[in-house]
């Protein structure tokens, strides 16, 4: 059976206002589990320990069958200024939020452990980590091998930990910050959806900025409906990986 994975990036008290109408629309479609990528202290102004109502919301989503995963710690690149042209491009043009792009193993381990400790304080199970902007230093990869996490991911793959075994899991993602980017994103996503028609799973990688424009928000909802109508089963990332493992064991 083919599956669809709905993934909400950059989840925090600050971004919930963006996501709420979409989440309510998805809930109205039936039981559709989603993976929420939770940032412990988004941009240094959203420490989840200070937002009990939002924590109760996340706990309720777990009860409904959703999954919470760790998504960086601050989701902000607050390291020293870039010194090379490549670093400048990756950290100031491609994104300002590649928090784990240049961290050493010790730095990455400290932030990962702090994030996992936050999950533990609130009794939230956690199996996965996704680096902001999917950018990870070699030090981050080394740190992940030392932690009790089951998976990480990039835009087109999931990786089982600690050995980073690659599992194909194609994903759609938009650049929705301007009208022309939204238009181009739709063209590319429509083509990819057709190209991946036979793919075992398709990931829908949503961001808060997508939710601020009717054009992109409606695209995601319509695409999800289409994939469900085609018979794809909605799963969380962890549930999908567990199913792949079971299939390999049975083969």
Q: What is the pLDDT of residues 214-236, one digit of tens each?
A: 999 999 999 999 999 999 999 99
How far apart (Å, rounded) are the C-alpha atoms in residues 119 and 69? 9
- Phi, psi dihedrals of residue 135, rounded to the nearest 5°: -100, 120
Question: How many domains does one find in the chain?
Answer: 1
* pLDDT reported for residue 83: 56
At residue 172, the 3 state secondary structure works out as strand
How far apart (Å, rounded) are the C-alpha atoms in residues 196 and 157? 14
Residue 80's pLDDT band (cuts 50, 70, 90): low
How far apart (Å, rounded) are the C-alpha atoms in residues 167 and 153? 9
Across the chain, mean pLDDT equals: 92
How far apart (Å, rounded) are the C-alpha atoms in residues 27 and 64? 10
* pLDDT reported for residue 89: 45
Residue 164, token pair as written in the block: 């980073």
Residue 93's pLDDT band (cuts 50, 70, 90): very low
User: In the chain, what percentage of residues exceed pLDDT 70?
Assistant: 91
Residue 226, token pair as written in the block: 């289409």
* pLDDT reported for residue 177: 84
Say which range, 43-47, 48-52, 208-212, has the weakest mean pLDDT: 43-47
**Closest listed residue to residue 129, CA positions, set 244, 118, 178, 121:** 118
How many residues comprise the chain? Answer: 251
Domain that holds residue 194: 3-250
pLDDT at 117 over 90: yes
The CATH number of the domain where 141 resides is what? 3.20.20.370
């Amino acid at each position: 059976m083919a599956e669809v994975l709905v993934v909400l990036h950059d989840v925090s008290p600050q971004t919930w206002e963006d996501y709420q109408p979409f989440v309510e629309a998805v809930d109205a479609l039936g039981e559709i589990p989603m993976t929420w990528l939770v940032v412990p202290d988004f941009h240094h102004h959203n420490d989840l320990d200070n937002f009990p109502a939002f924590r109760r919301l996340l706990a309720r989503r777990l009860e409904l069958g959703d999954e919470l995963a760790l998504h960086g710690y601050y989701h902000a690149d607050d390291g020293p200024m870039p010194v090379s042209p490549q670093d400048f491009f990756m950290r100031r043009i491609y994104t300002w939020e590649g928090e784990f792009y240049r961290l050493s193993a010790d730095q990455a381990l400290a932030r990962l452990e702090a994030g996992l400790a936050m999950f533990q304080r609130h009794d939230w199970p956690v199996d996965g980590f996704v680096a902001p902007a999917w950018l990870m230093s070699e030090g981050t990869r080394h740190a992940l091998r030392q932690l009790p996490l089951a998976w990480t991911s990039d835009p087109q793959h999931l990786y089982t930990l600690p050995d980073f075994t690659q599992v194909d899991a194609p994903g759609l993602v938009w650049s929705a910050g301007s009208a022309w980017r939204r238009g181009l994103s739709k063209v590319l996503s429509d083509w990819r959806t057709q190209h991946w028609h036979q793919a075992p799973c398709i990931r829908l990688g949503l961001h808060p900025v997508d939710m601020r424009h009717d054009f992109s928000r409606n695209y995601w909802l319509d695409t999800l409906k289409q994939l469900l109508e085609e018979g794809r089963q909605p799963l969380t990332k962890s549930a999908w990986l567990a199913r792949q493992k079971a299939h390999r064991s049975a083969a």
